[in-house]
Amino acid sequence: MTLKLVLPKGRINTKVLQLLNDMGITLVGDDRNYRPKAYGFDLEVKLLKSQNIPSLVELGQHDIGFAGEDWIYERRTEVEVIKNLGFDPVKIVACIPEDWDWNEVKQRKVIVASEYKRIATDYLERNGFDYQLLRSYGATEVFPPEDADMIIDNTSTGTTIRANRLKIVDTVMKSATQFIANKAALEDSGKRQDIETLLTMMQAVLNGRERVLLEMNCGNDAIETIVSLLPAMRSPTVSRLYNEEGFAVKAAVPKGNIMELIPELIKAGATDILETPINKSI
């Protein structure tokens, strides 16, 4: 059964395509091709702007897709979030000119520019602003101070905000890439099984990215100390060396531990240490 998959164009596309590739799914098509061919899984693929994806998945035009949490919220879509991937994290922030006083701005009527009509409205109403909202269509940061008092926009590093002499005064929400599904598709047993297969492979890739495989040898007198040092998924794999005068040890360990762990292993008596990337881990 063919699943209809919609992918985002633009900023979040790169990491999603890399994830699919690591899962064993290859997309073939040039930059102008909005309907690439998928190999490795039975998928019908289309590329669209991230803003449109949640609504189209909700309507059932596509079974599954990838979209930012901000646009899922903005569109008020009833979709099933299958996995928060955490890719391309951004903050939706309120900003004003860098030399303005935030407390003073909150006391008067303000003109607010934003691409996010609903997110902005919810925030302004929740905080009791007297406001007029202008819907922007890109380049929101250029509105102040002549055309708006405040903007509500997304940022990952804040560089563009600072470059336009603005300052962040509040965080409205946080967003990252989500793997989403149409609710009716999940009620179809065939489609649900395929979606769960994709999710399993996706999780295996994500798990693999967090760990590396460490292999090493050690003498009989060092094995207990070395095993105690290794943070494995369950426990390290230990086997006798060919001449039985020591052990071979291997363990999948978190990448973040490597810098401190390897010197400790050497000090404990480990030799012939190998570090290998893990493609998938289940």
Residue 113 lies in a domain: yes
CB 35 within 8 A of CB 89: no
Are both 78 and 54 inside the same structural domain? yes
> What is the arithmetic mean of pLDDT over 155-179?
95
Are both 124 and 160 inside the same structural domain? yes
- The CATH number covering residue 52 comes to 3.40.190.10
Are both 160 and 127 inside the same structural domain? yes
User: Cis bond leading into 145, ω under 30°?
Assistant: yes
For residue 69 the two structure tokens come to 């949490």
Residue 202 lies in a domain: no
Q: What is the pLDDT of residues 67-101, one digit of tens each?
A: 999 999 999 999 999 999 999 999 999 999 999 99
Are both 15 and 69 inside the same structural domain? yes
Cα separation, 182 vs 65, whole angstroms: 9
Count of domains for the chain: 3
Are both 181 and 82 inside the same structural domain? yes
CB 237 within 8 A of CB 250: yes
Cα separation, 260 vs 76, whole angstroms: 46
Angle at 222 between CA 220 and CA 225, to 5 degrees: 135
Are both 47 and 120 inside the same structural domain? no
> What is the arithmetic mean of pLDDT over 107-118?
96
For residue 53 the two structure tokens come to 């994806």
Cα separation, 44 vs 185, whole angstroms: 14
Are both 141 and 254 inside the same structural domain? no
CB 237 within 8 A of CB 251: yes
Among 131, 102, 197, smallest CA distance to 122 is for 131
Among 1, 4, 5, 3, smallest CA distance to 19 is for 5
Q: What is the pLDDT of residues 215-249, one digit of tens each?
A: 999 999 999 999 999 986 678 999 999 877 899 99
Residue 146 has pLDDT above 80, yes or no: yes
Which range of residues forms the domain containing residue 254?
A: 211-277
Q: What is the pLDDT of residues 176-191, one digit of tens each?
A: 999 999 999 999 999 9
